[in-house]
């Protein structure tokens, strides 16, 4: 539509479409429009590259924000021991106690950590009792 309007009004630029300066010559008009198209193509290429760079930057920022942080992000119970290290599921009852916040700091706690701490404490009591009985009989 704009091209037709530009062709009807020689020498007048219509909404970014440049009319042919020599409307009688189809070849000259085609070459001139190709120059305009190549300018548009270069501009579009720049826009695409700029948009791609912006997308890469946004993805990098989002990835950094979603990066694994805290003791619970890689499948552990999600508690940090007093020594600064993350505790494992096997250690949570012995090191943190029950509830785990007794001696440890929560960092993205996972479901089941409280129950694991209770069970860990029960197992530790059984181990302690078995060790005391063995030592007392000798």
The set of residues, in sequence order, having a beta carbon less than 8 Å from that of 76 and lying 6+ positions away, is 86, 87, 88, 89, 110
Residue-level pLDDT at 66: 62
Q: How far apart are the first and last CA of the chain?
A: 103
pLDDT at position 80, please? 94
Has this prediction a pTM greater than 0.75?
Answer: no
Distance CA 4, CA 14 (A): 10
Token pair for 46? 């720049």
Q: What does the pLDDT read at residue 23?
A: 58
Q: State yes or no: pLDDT of 130 exceeds 70.
A: yes
Q: Which residues pair with 17 in a beta bridge?
A: 14
**CA dist list (Å): 48 to 38, 40, 56, 68:** 15, 12, 12, 32
> What pLDDT digit, counting tens, does each position of 78-122 carry?
999 999 999 999 999 999 988 999 999 999 888 888 999 999 889
Where is pLDDT greater, at 1 or 124?
124
The pLDDT, as a whole number, for residue 52 is 82
Q: What is the mean pLDDT of the chain?
A: 75
């Amino acid at each position: 539509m704009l091209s037709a309007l530009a062709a009807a009004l020689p020498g007048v630029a219509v909404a970014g479409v440049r009319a042919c300066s020599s409307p009688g010559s189809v070849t000259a008009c085609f070459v001139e429009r190709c120059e305009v198209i190549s300018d548009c193509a270069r501009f579009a290429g720049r826009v695409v590259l700029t948009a791609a760079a912006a997308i890469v930057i946004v993805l990098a920022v989002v990835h950094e924000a979603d990066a694994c942080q805290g003791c619970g992000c890689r499948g552990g119970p999600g508690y940090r021991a007093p020594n600064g290290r993350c505790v494992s599921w096997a250690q949570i009852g012995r090191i943190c106690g029950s509830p785990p916040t007794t001696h440890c700091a929560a960092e993205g706690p996972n479901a089941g950590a409280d129950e694991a701490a209770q069970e860990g404490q029960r197992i530790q009591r059984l181990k302690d009792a078995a060790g005391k009985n063995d030592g007392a009989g000798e």
